Chain A
Amino acid sequence: MSCGDIPDGLATEEQGEALMPRRVKVQRFDKSKCQKCRTSKSMYIIRNVTYCKSCFESSLFTRLQRTLHPAMRSTTLTPSEMKNKSLASIGGNRPLPQDGSVLIGLSGGSSSIALTDILVSKEYIGKGDKRVVDRTKGEKQPVWNKGYIIHVDFSDVIEGSNKEEDRSGVLKNWIEDKEHGLGWIGLKGQDVYDVNLRNKIRRIIGIPELDDGEEKESLAIDLKNPDLPLFPDAPSSSSSTPLDRLRSILSTLPAASRPSFLSSILDSLTTTTSQIIPDLSHVLLAETSTRQAQRLISGTALGKGYTLPLDLSVIHKSSAPNGRDIIRLKPTKDISLKEVTIYTHLKGLNGLVRNARNWDNAGPQNRKGDSRGKGNTRSLESLTEQFIASLAVTHPATVSTINRTGDKLRFTGEKKESQVECPVCQLPVDPNALEWKSRTALTSLPTKALPSKDISTDGEGRESLATMLCYACLTTFTPPTVVSKASRTEVVPVQLPYWVGGNVRDRRREMKEEVKEFLIDQDDE
């Protein structure tokens, strides 16, 4: 079809109007140049936008600020009000000093290393000397007076061909080389079986030890019995080491439950440390958007739906012993794993980074009855990681869509003061968890009688941990195959970590307090 093209310069005005207007030339961007500054050579492409090194760094920092700043004290706006405001209107590019210290969880993965590096390089963390800054020399007012780094090492319980060495030394050297006065708190997973844990942390921080007045006895549990009966354990003078006790409970737990248990240990150690550090203001956990999406899906698969909104929340407040609120924050929530990995590469930190947790290999390997899933995975968490990673290839919006869904969930429980907490994960207990489980998966029939000879010494009449746990922890501890009482032979209880025993004792005390006026004989415990 001829378009009646007339050579340029020869068209008259009338002819110009009769022609189809010449199409405006679209300026296609040059992928070799950074799309932000349009001058430097582009180095990275994130979501179809090209960045040079410095624009990438500043874009990453801006996104970090958007999550970090709303959680700072001295602002009256709520996080949802903050969301749509520009940084300038929030209060400038730097938050006000928080008059407290900060605790950063450092796992040794890209995101925690990147977060620490950024906060230190932007002078957000002071050296603890409260000295006056000289702005004329370009110094900046720190946001926190002092920073502490907590690293928990689990290498002693990771076995098999993927066994990792303890990386605490390497990471500690990096932190102390920074000369920023960051306090290093290096712990091990088995420290939850150390009766003197709190004083150990005080020694590390450099504050005086205290007598916490806690009982030194712990509790043991029979994990083969679905009722999870509790036994009083021998006092801590027993000859087994904390590592032996951790290995003992890991070998008794099903392989699929071990990562959840290790995760509870990590949370407990972080919480205990946060209650000991003086004047702690914020706890920062460097969870990326990728990890967040994995936690939502794996949390759903673990039955954690009730407390997921609390677990996933960017900002979560808890009380410290001194009465002040501690704010737990996930500043890297909107940053993907790919971006933090690029950052650590850019800064030459890749030698420090180890992204794989390897918790699938915790405890003894290849035990009879352990199931192995796709890709040789042994836990729901690692299966979920693989699944999200593979789905993100064909459906790139997967991670952001999952996170948007998670943002819209809310916690339906009661106010904190009246909420009963799970002794293991210390999150609210879902109502009627045990009853729901029993109703949906019957393990006995009301019409069938139990055999006349019953083993009565394997937990009958003992307190049951199963009645106190939240649904997810109940699933973690419940044996995978329900074995009838008649076929259970030897009862071998394993020791529970001290924090669980402590919470069970507190719960018992609370329950006794509620009913004490109705008790006739007050038995001494």
Chain B
Amino acid sequence: MPPTPCSLCHTARALVKRPKTGQQVCKDCFFEVFETEVHNTITEGKGIFERGEKVAIGASGGKDSTVLAHVLSVLNKRYDYGLDLFLLSIDEGITGYRDDSLETVKQNQIEYGLPLKILSYNELYGWTMDKIVEQVGRRNNCTFCGVFRRQALDRGAAQLGVDHIVTGHNADDIAETVLMNIMRGDIARLGRCTAVTTQSEDTIKRSKPFKYAYEKEIVMYAYFKKLTYFSTECIYSPDAYRGHARVFLKDLEAIRPSAIVDIIHSGESFQLEQSVQKGMKAMQTCLRCGYISSNDLCKACALLEGLEAGLDRSALRQTQANSSTAPVGHRTIPMFERYSNIGVAQPTEGIEKAVQTIEIK
């Protein structure tokens, strides 16, 4: 049987079948089509980025963030976005998982020449996930991690002086989130989970350039480009509700591969009744740590109070109402400064800064 030619260039031999479209393509065309789709996501409408913007890439050492760092560096050069890129990593304190994946992030720092900042739960909250799980148990611990990580990313970004965070959330993640929010009745999240960029008043912009990139294609890209990434799942990931949505999504994909982007398209079309929108809480700042919150206390402060009080899973149900002073002896989260006071002159290109940093070391 003669070799099949690539469906895109029609000359080279096809080596891969694209999970998204089923097209048989050669390796170079696969790289090009993957990168072009990400470029289209970035430049759609008015574009996600502004020239000269400082952008922190949320880097965990996993496949999504590793490929994101690679692709964003490539596209930044190829299309001259003019961005100043940084790597921002959060150490949740999970022994045997996060300490290993952080080594991958340090390798990425060298490979792509991007400055790296690591912020740990321990230095920020005084708790590691290991200690949290020991106290709270193995159920519902994702809530703690998610809430703490969100704030940690914003704080790390503020310390770096960046105004934009990008994360490696891919199409599968977003489709799962749409399904999950419908099934759980989380209207507020359903309204915003498909936006490529989210921003509330006075928070740092977050974007997802991989919004339309399939998880399988990200893995294929990393495999063929021989990128190093850490491929183990979090040791504490429990039988979370998201797992149901994930299994269902994989089953849908098996029947119709376009189901993932179809769900995202549906999610983008959803709009809520006006009465529901008006009923949602307005944003304010946390009375204790100054982070953005929809109640008097932000969720992180409430959870931390529960942990400090020695509560187990009931730490999840701590009230967020009107208690600006923490109980005596409890550790609190430092005040959030949205704009950092770092006055060091920054070079315009990230690579030059990275070279400087390495030289100093």
> Interface of A with B (CB < 8 Å)?
254, 256, 296-297, 299-306, 308, 371-374, 377-380, 383, 387, 391, 398, 401-402, 404-406, 408-410, 412, 430, 436-437, 439-445, 447-448, 450-451, 471-472, 475, 478, 480-484, 486
* B251 touches A (CB below 8 Å): yes
The reply to whether B269 and A412 form a contact with Cβ atoms under 8 Å apart is yes
A residues less than 8 Å from B9 (CB atoms): 445, 448
* B23 touches A (CB below 8 Å): yes
* B255 touches A (CB below 8 Å): yes
**Extra contacts besides A297-B183, A401-B185, A484-B7 (4): CB < 8 Å:** A371-B254, A405-B182, A480-B258, A481-B23
What's the nearest-Cβ distance from chain B to residue A465, in Å?
A: 18
How many residues on the B side are at the interface (Cβ–Cβ under 8 A)? 51
> With A and B bound together, what is the CA distance between A410 and B244 in angstroms?
26
The reply to whether B10 and A300 form a contact with Cβ atoms under 8 Å apart is no
The reply to whether A373 and B254 form a contact with Cβ atoms under 8 Å apart is yes
Interface of B, helix, strand, loop or mixed by DSSP: helix
What's the nearest-Cβ distance from chain B to residue A252, in Å?
A: 16
> With A and B bound together, what is the CA distance between A374 and B187 in angstroms?
29
> Mind listing 27 A-B residue pairs with CB under 8 Å?
A297-B183, A300-B266, A301-B262, A302-B259, A302-B262, A305-B268, A308-B269, A373-B251, A383-B252, A398-B183, A401-B183, A402-B185, A404-B185, A405-B183, A405-B187, A408-B273, A430-B269, A440-B261, A441-B261, A444-B8, A450-B10, A472-B262, A475-B256, A475-B258, A480-B258, A481-B21, A482-B21
What's the nearest-Cβ distance from chain A to residue B316, in Å?
A: 18
* B22 touches A (CB below 8 Å): yes
* B209 touches A (CB below 8 Å): no
> With A and B bound together, what is the CA distance between A33 and B182 in angstroms?
37
- Give 8 nearest A-B pairs by CB, closest first: A305-B266, A303-B262, A481-B22, A305-B269, A306-B269, A373-B255, A300-B266, A401-B185
What's the nearest-Cβ distance from chain B to residue A42, in Å?
A: 31
The reply to whether B273 and A448 form a contact with Cβ atoms under 8 Å apart is no
User: Known: A300-B182, A383-B255. Is A441-B20 also a contact (CB below 8 A)?
Assistant: yes
> With A and B bound together, what is the CA distance between A316 and B267 in angstroms?
22
Q: Which residue of B lies closest to A379 (CB)?
A: B255
The reply to whether B271 and A412 form a contact with Cβ atoms under 8 Å apart is yes
Q: Which of B163-186 contact A (CB under 8 A)?
A: 178-179, 181-185
* B29 touches A (CB below 8 Å): yes
The reply to whether B190 and A300 form a contact with Cβ atoms under 8 Å apart is no
User: Known: A391-B244, A408-B187. Is A486-B265 also a contact (CB below 8 A)?
Assistant: no
Q: Which of B33-41, B99-107, B152-160, B225-233 is the contact stretch? A: B33-41
User: Known: A306-B269, A439-B44, A441-B261. Is A402-B179 also a contact (CB below 8 A)?
Assistant: no
Q: Which residue of B lies closest to A444 (CB)?
A: B8
> With A and B bound together, what is the CA distance between A120 and B271 in angstroms?
39
The reply to whether A410 and B273 form a contact with Cβ atoms under 8 Å apart is yes
> With A and B bound together, what is the CA distance between A301 and B267 in angstroms?
10
> Interface of B with A (CB < 8 Å)?
5, 7-10, 20-23, 29, 32-33, 36-37, 40, 44, 178-179, 181-185, 187, 190, 212, 244, 248, 251-252, 254-259, 261-274, 276
User: Known: A412-B269, A436-B265. Is A297-B182 also a contact (CB below 8 A)?
Assistant: yes
The reply to whether B182 and A296 form a contact with Cβ atoms under 8 Å apart is yes
A residues less than 8 Å from B37 (CB atoms): 440-442
The reply to whether B273 and A409 form a contact with Cβ atoms under 8 Å apart is yes
What's the nearest-Cβ distance from chain B to residue A444, in Å?
A: 7
What's the nearest-Cβ distance from chain B to residue A106, in Å?
A: 30
A residues less than 8 Å from B265 (CB atoms): 303, 305, 430, 436, 471
The reply to whether A380 and B22 form a contact with Cβ atoms under 8 Å apart is no
What's the nearest-Cβ distance from chain B to residue A425, in Å?
A: 15
> With A and B bound together, what is the CA distance between A447 and B259 in angstroms?
28
The reply to whether A402 and B44 form a contact with Cβ atoms under 8 Å apart is no
> With A and B bound together, what is the CA distance between A406 and B270 in angstroms?
10
The reply to whether A480 and B272 form a contact with Cβ atoms under 8 Å apart is no
The reply to whether A380 and B29 form a contact with Cβ atoms under 8 Å apart is no
B residues less than 8 Å from A440 (CB atoms): 37, 40, 212, 261, 264
> With A and B bound together, what is the CA distance between A308 and B267 in angstroms?
11
The reply to whether A299 and B266 form a contact with Cβ atoms under 8 Å apart is yes
Q: Which residue of B lies closest to A443 (CB)?
A: B21
Q: Which residue of A lies closest to B258 (CB)?
A: A475
User: Known: A301-B262, A412-B269, A412-B271. Is A377-B255 also a contact (CB below 8 A)?
Assistant: yes
The reply to whether A374 and B179 form a contact with Cβ atoms under 8 Å apart is no
The reply to whether B266 and A445 form a contact with Cβ atoms under 8 Å apart is no
The reply to whether A301 and B29 form a contact with Cβ atoms under 8 Å apart is no
The reply to whether A405 and B268 form a contact with Cβ atoms under 8 Å apart is no
Q: Which of A402, A430, A439, A472 contacts B182 (CB 8 A)?
A: A402
Most chain-A CB neighbours within 10 Å: which of B182, B212, B257, B267?
A: B182
User: Known: A305-B269, A442-B33. Is A374-B251 also a contact (CB below 8 A)?
Assistant: yes
Q: Which residue of A lies closest to B264 (CB)?
A: A440
B residues less than 8 Å from A484 (CB atoms): 7, 10, 23
B residues less than 8 Å from A306 (CB atoms): 266, 269
What's the nearest-Cβ distance from chain B to residue A306, in Å?
A: 4
What's the nearest-Cβ distance from chain A to residue B47, in Å?
A: 14
> With A and B bound together, what is the CA distance between A305 and B267 in angstroms?
6
User: Known: A387-B248, A401-B184, A412-B269. Is A380-B23 also a contact (CB below 8 A)?
Assistant: no
User: Known: A380-B255, A439-B44. Is A409-B270 also a contact (CB below 8 A)?
Assistant: yes
Q: Which of B258, B266, B271, B276 contacts A441 (CB 8 A)?
A: B258
The reply to whether B10 and A451 form a contact with Cβ atoms under 8 Å apart is yes
User: Known: A401-B184, A445-B8. Is A308-B266 also a contact (CB below 8 A)?
Assistant: yes
The reply to whether A297 and B179 form a contact with Cβ atoms under 8 Å apart is yes
Q: Which of B29, B181, B262 contacts A445 (CB 8 A)?
A: B29
Q: Which residue of A lies closest to B9 (CB)?
A: A448
B residues less than 8 Å from A371 (CB atoms): 254-256
B residues less than 8 Å from A296 (CB atoms): 182
A residues less than 8 Å from B257 (CB atoms): 480
B residues less than 8 Å from A472 (CB atoms): 262
> With A and B bound together, what is the CA distance between A391 and B182 in angstroms?
13
A residues less than 8 Å from B190 (CB atoms): 405
A residues less than 8 Å from B262 (CB atoms): 301-303, 471-472, 475
The reply to whether B273 and A380 form a contact with Cβ atoms under 8 Å apart is no
A residues less than 8 Å from B261 (CB atoms): 437, 440-441
> With A and B bound together, what is the CA distance between A374 and B36 in angstroms?
33
The reply to whether A448 and B8 form a contact with Cβ atoms under 8 Å apart is yes
> With A and B bound together, what is the CA distance between A27 and B231 in angstroms?
58
What's the nearest-Cβ distance from chain A to residue B126, in Å?
A: 35
The reply to whether A480 and B183 form a contact with Cβ atoms under 8 Å apart is no
The reply to whether A305 and B270 form a contact with Cβ atoms under 8 Å apart is yes
> With A and B bound together, what is the CA distance between A483 and B21 in angstroms?
10
User: Known: A405-B182, A408-B187, A440-B261. Is A301-B8 also a contact (CB below 8 A)?
Assistant: no
The reply to whether B269 and A380 form a contact with Cβ atoms under 8 Å apart is no
What's the nearest-Cβ distance from chain A to residue B8, in Å?
A: 5
The reply to whether B271 and A410 form a contact with Cβ atoms under 8 Å apart is yes
A residues less than 8 Å from B44 (CB atoms): 439
> With A and B bound together, what is the CA distance between A470 and B25 in angstroms?
29
> With A and B bound together, what is the CA distance between A379 and B29 in angstroms?
31
The reply to whether B33 and A480 form a contact with Cβ atoms under 8 Å apart is no
Most chain-A CB neighbours within 10 Å: which of B244, B266, B267, B274?
A: B266
> With A and B bound together, what is the CA distance between A401 and B268 in angstroms?
20
> With A and B bound together, what is the CA distance between A444 and B21 in angstroms?
11
The reply to whether A300 and B21 form a contact with Cβ atoms under 8 Å apart is no
Most chain-A CB neighbours within 10 Å: which of B256, B268, B274?
A: B256
Most chain-B CB neighbours within 10 Å: which of A300, A308, A378, A402?
A: A300
A residues less than 8 Å from B255 (CB atoms): 256, 371-373, 377-380, 383
> With A and B bound together, what is the CA distance between A371 and B5 in angstroms?
24
B residues less than 8 Å from A398 (CB atoms): 183
What's the nearest-Cβ distance from chain B to residue A414, in Å?
A: 13
Q: Which residue of B lies closest to A450 (CB)?
A: B10
A residues less than 8 Å from B248 (CB atoms): 383, 387
> With A and B bound together, what is the CA distance between A486 and B14 in angstroms?
14
